[in-house]
A and B are shown apart, each in its own frame.
Chain A
Amino acid sequence: MTANGLVQIALFFGVLIALVKPLGWYMARVHEGKSCGLDRVLGPVERSLYRICGIRSNEEMTWKTYAVAMLLFNGFGLLALYLLQRIQGVLPLNPQAFGAVAPDLAFNTAASFTTNTNWQAYGGESTMSYLTQMMGLTVQNFVSAATGIAILVAFIRGLARRSSQTIGNFWVDLVRSTLYILLPLATIVALLLVGQGAVQTFDAYHTARFAQPVHYEKPVTDGTGQTSFDEHGKPKMEPAIEHHQILAVGPASSQVAIKHLGTNGGGFFSVNAAHPFESPTPFTDFLLILAETLLAASLTYTFGVMVGDTRQGWTILTAMLAVLLVFMLGGYLAESDGNPRIATLGADHTPSDIQPGGNMEGKETRFGIARSVIFAAATTATSTGAVDSMHDSFTPLGGLVPLFLMQFGEVILGGVGSGLYGMLVFAIIAVFIAGLMVGRTPEYLGKKIEPYEMKMASLLILIMPIVVLGLTAVASVTTAGTASILNPGPHGLSEILYAYTSQGNNNGSAFGGLNANTVFYNTTGGLAMLASRFWLAVPTLALAGALARKTSAPTGSGTLPTHTPLFVVLLIGVVLLVGGLTFVPVLALGPIVEHVLMMS
């Protein structure tokens, strides 16, 4: 750890916290239907969208209608994205002439982007045409984030309203989030990225002549293009020489900006934000981390405004950031210490002013250890899942940090919208547990928490672990699952666990060594992503509907105040307890065993 590294961590938290109030206030104006400034310019666009779609924007919906509208919109979106990938070969804006994406991969990718996960079993620059990246993937980056915000504001209305049958209009929430929040912010971030060197062009890939030709070994192929093997079963190799470097470019910045703002995370290029054309400088790295945490953090303030007590929002944010800080520092410590097995070979990994030191396998020089760890923690605390370094090559404990952060159910900031509604469910569970301790009916924000609410809340915290652990178990004992492993020993289990944790929490980052582009992983992973997004969204809306119908319970002497440091501790305790009890056993078999092995 270096002083500079700690200052970079402090700077991230400082700038983020400073932006929470202004942006949170702005988003509250947007979703309370008030004038927000931009509506003077984009108001006509908003109204014509409603008119063409036949939407009566002043009509509110019950939770059931809201859920139906949300599911239909996402269902059609998924279908459109699937079809686009399947026919991209005959469509324009495909300078590299990529063919149709295979059906299982196209299903996985469509599920992945509509659920705000952005798990990628493909390499962007070698699979997707510019048109698919723009009109398929970028579109879902916007609307899946807007869907998350919509569900959240519906849930907040449920808490804020008294004796109401309705929780808002899905179409209005969707359109206003997209037009007034996501589009303007994405445009600003995209242009800042380009200014630093991120690419934004429709040109075909460039061909450069290598300054020094590259000599390498390539596998020998027979007449039919099949690899030949020697008597030991190893592929036969022959010397080869390469004179040219093909530089993959494309309209990347516009997609990169929204993939962070919308906590989506799907890279334009295969290595995501480690690619110099996605994130060319330390400043762009800082900007992307800020972008992916910005909306999730600011929405806590929006929540405070909408329930009429901003202290409630700050309480939730404090709990989130406290957990994030501790995990980030832990990861920084582990990665700075480096890999003892490499140190003994004569590599110097002491950090100094002229070298980053630490565990540099899978990390970029311009980012070093500190930025890579801030990124890894922020991308998994939020459900972004973009990466600026390869998590699979992290030290065992350094890799445990992103894994564990996802396993809390993506509520430490979490996805745009979805993180906060997940955390509010934990708040309901926290008041319930506190209520049990003193034998009183639990209340949250003046709403009595009764059996129906607790049933929905329990469902919400049980579905994810069942999906994640169930699929990890299946993959660990079947050849279809274990054949994809790259790293031997306990690390192999970590790879599988990471894959389903990531998809089962709509994160999208990976231990990339696992070969995920197989029919088995594409199918099971796709189903996991759909389950954890929509199976959770529907009970959340049901809960919102139930809460909206309730009257206000007067505050009494036995009411637990939910804006105090005590409640922060209680909330963190519940999140850690649920996540910890569920996942510590399997973490012990993966990263923890590997750590012990590495140190011995």
Chain B
Amino acid sequence: MKDQIRPALTMVLLLTVLTGLTYPLTVTGLAQVFFPDQANGSLILREGKVVGSRLIGQYFDKPEYFWSRPSATAPFPYNAAASGGSNLGPTNPVLIDAVKTRVAALRTADPGNALPIPVDLVTASGSGLDPHISPAAALYQAKRVARARGLDENSVLTLVSKHTEGRQFGLLGEPRVNVLMLNLALDALTAEPVSR
């Protein structure tokens, strides 16, 4: 018993240095050399200022923007300093009411739209920071966005398909559209001076 105390104490200390300092510092060093953009958060810079991350969604509820998925982070949606899901169970009345409200909001913003509402657009993501919506959810909103911006629907659809990613390696995960990147591209499109 007694002769194991010294090895136990020293070993805790040495393995802490090895796995708690040497290892993360080595990985950080290599990451910062080989993948500096990714390692620092895939930041989007405009005029030297951070306007977001390509990997973290933002909240949109104006008709001229594509809306992201509902977010359950507190105290406001898409709070990237405190990720979180709703954790509401499938039979919880709070969940059912929330979905009802979201369906109503989408229908009010676009009364003539007869397309079915994709389920991902009315359910909160796991992280509360989901940067993506499904292509179906983007198509559902294209007409509204075009109308609100005075654009022709086809140019909006072209932009959507430009921001649509397929399954990774054609196999993994699901097809998706990055909402923030799409909306920033829309803003850039509208801000561009009309040529000719």
Q: Which residue of B lies closest to A205 (CB)?
A: B81
Question: Which are the 10 A-B pairs with shortest beta-carbon distances?
Answer: A282-B173, A513-B87, A368-B174, A348-B116, A274-B126, A355-B136, A282-B172, A135-B20, A487-B89, A390-B85
Chain A residue numbers with a CB within 8 Å of B78 are 214, 245
CA–CA, A280 and B35, complex, Å:
14
Chain A residue numbers with a CB within 8 Å of B116 are 346, 348
Stretch at the interface among A314-322, A336-344, A442-450: A336-344
Q: Which of A4, A80, A360 has the most CB of B within 10 A?
A: A360
Given A125-B82, A365-B69: A52 in contact with B24 (beta carbons within 8 A): no
Q: Are B87 and A76 in contact (CB under 8 A)?
A: no
CB pairs A–B below 8 angstroms (21 shown): A52-B14, A73-B12, A175-B11, A194-B38, A197-B38, A200-B32, A202-B28, A206-B50, A214-B76, A270-B83, A342-B123, A345-B122, A348-B136, A365-B132, A371-B173, A390-B85, A390-B86, A393-B90, A486-B92, A488-B93, A491-B92
- Asked whether B96 is an interface residue with its Cβ less than 8 Å from the other chain, the reply is yes
CA–CA, A139 and B6, complex, Å:
19
Q: Are A338 and B131 in contact (CB under 8 A)?
A: no
Q: Whole-angstrom distance from the CB of B175 to the nearest CB of chain A?
A: 6
Q: Which residue of A lies closest to B139 (CB)?
A: A354
- Asked whether B180 is an interface residue with its Cβ less than 8 Å from the other chain, the reply is yes
Q: Which residue of A lies closest to B7 (CB)?
A: A53
- Asked whether A585 is an interface residue with its Cβ less than 8 Å from the other chain, the reply is no
CA–CA, A194 and B10, complex, Å:
32
- Asked whether A551 is an interface residue with its Cβ less than 8 Å from the other chain, the reply is no
CA–CA, A346 and B115, complex, Å:
10
Q: Whole-angstrom distance from the CB of A262 to the nearest CB of chain B?
A: 10
Within A384-433, which residues are at the interface with B (CB < 8 Å)? 387-390, 392-396
CA–CA, A338 and B103, complex, Å:
17
Q: Of B9, B19, B88, B126, which contacts A364 at CB under 8 A?
A: B126
Given A69-B8, A197-B55: A358 in contact with B119 (beta carbons within 8 A): yes
Within B84-107, which residues are at the interface with A (CB < 8 Å)? 84-93, 95-96, 99-100, 103
Chain A residue numbers with a CB within 8 Å of B121 are 347
Q: Which residue of B lies closest to A182 (CB)?
A: B19
CA–CA, A362 and B56, complex, Å:
16
Q: Whole-angstrom distance from the CB of B97 to the nearest CB of chain A?
A: 10
Q: Are B127 and A364 in contact (CB under 8 A)?
A: yes
Q: Whole-angstrom distance from the CB of B118 to the nearest CB of chain A?
A: 5
18 further A-B contacts with Cβ under 8 Å, apart from A171-B7, A209-B50, are A11-B171, A52-B10, A54-B6, A77-B12, A125-B81, A143-B19, A209-B51, A212-B65, A214-B78, A246-B80, A254-B27, A282-B174, A341-B96, A347-B117, A357-B118, A364-B127, A367-B173, A513-B88
Q: Are A347 and B187 in contact (CB under 8 A)?
A: no
Q: Using a Cβ–Cβ cut-off of 8 Å, how many residues does chain A contribute to the interface with B?
A: 137
Q: Which residue of B lies closest to A132 (CB)?
A: B20
Residues 41-54 of chain B: 1 if any A CB is under 8 Å from the residue's CB, otherwise 0? Answer: 11110000111111
CA–CA, A494 and B90, complex, Å:
12
- Asked whether A38 is an interface residue with its Cβ less than 8 Å from the other chain, the reply is no
Q: Are B30 and A191 in contact (CB under 8 A)?
A: yes
Given A65-B4, A254-B28, A271-B128: A392 in contact with B89 (beta carbons within 8 A): yes
Given A202-B28, A246-B80, A271-B85: A394 in contact with B90 (beta carbons within 8 A): yes
Q: Which of B1, B75, B89, B174 has the most CB of A within 10 A?
A: B89
Given A282-B167, A362-B85: A199 in contact with B119 (beta carbons within 8 A): no
Q: Are B40 and A199 in contact (CB under 8 A)?
A: yes
- Asked whether A352 is an interface residue with its Cβ less than 8 Å from the other chain, the reply is yes
Chain B residue numbers with a CB within 8 Å of A454 are none
Chain A residue numbers with a CB within 8 Å of B40 are 199, 201, 203, 249
Q: Are A138 and B23 in contact (CB under 8 A)?
A: yes
Q: Whole-angstrom distance from the CB of A236 to the nearest CB of chain B?
A: 14
- Asked whether B151 is an interface residue with its Cβ less than 8 Å from the other chain, the reply is no
Chain B residue numbers with a CB within 8 Å of A359 are 90, 119, 123
- Asked whether A566 is an interface residue with its Cβ less than 8 Å from the other chain, the reply is no
Q: Are B84 and A54 in contact (CB under 8 A)?
A: no
Q: Which of A138, A276, A360 has the most CB of B within 10 A?
A: A276
Q: Are B76 and A277 in contact (CB under 8 A)?
A: no
Q: Of A206, A254, A357, A365, which contacts B23 at CB under 8 A?
A: A254
Q: Are A245 and B80 in contact (CB under 8 A)?
A: yes
Q: Are A80 and B12 in contact (CB under 8 A)?
A: yes
Q: Are B32 and A201 in contact (CB under 8 A)?
A: yes
Q: Are A364 and B125 in contact (CB under 8 A)?
A: yes
- Asked whether B158 is an interface residue with its Cβ less than 8 Å from the other chain, the reply is no
- Asked whether A508 is an interface residue with its Cβ less than 8 Å from the other chain, the reply is no
CA–CA, A421 and B28, complex, Å:
35
CA–CA, A88 and B40, complex, Å:
24
- Asked whether A86 is an interface residue with its Cβ less than 8 Å from the other chain, the reply is no
Q: Of A218, A246, A512, which contacts B87 at CB under 8 A?
A: A512
CA–CA, A499 and B30, complex, Å:
38
- Asked whether A247 is an interface residue with its Cβ less than 8 Å from the other chain, the reply is yes
- Asked whether A18 is an interface residue with its Cβ less than 8 Å from the other chain, the reply is no
Chain B residue numbers with a CB within 8 Å of A354 are 134-136, 139, 175
Chain B residue numbers with a CB within 8 Å of A275 are 83, 127, 129
Q: Are B12 and A138 in contact (CB under 8 A)?
A: no
- Asked whether A511 is an interface residue with its Cβ less than 8 Å from the other chain, the reply is yes
Q: Whole-angstrom distance from the CB of A136 to the nearest CB of chain B?
A: 7
- Asked whether B154 is an interface residue with its Cβ less than 8 Å from the other chain, the reply is no
Chain B residue numbers with a CB within 8 Å of A283 are 168-169, 172-173
Given A171-B7, A251-B24, A274-B127: A366 in contact with B174 (beta carbons within 8 A): yes
Chain A residue numbers with a CB within 8 Å of B184 are 211
CA–CA, A600 and B134, complex, Å:
30
- Asked whether B137 is an interface residue with its Cβ less than 8 Å from the other chain, the reply is yes
CA–CA, A8 and B168, complex, Å:
11
- Asked whether B62 is an interface residue with its Cβ less than 8 Å from the other chain, the reply is yes
Q: Of A277, A285, A360, which contacts B172 at CB under 8 A?
A: A285
Q: Are B15 and A143 in contact (CB under 8 A)?
A: yes
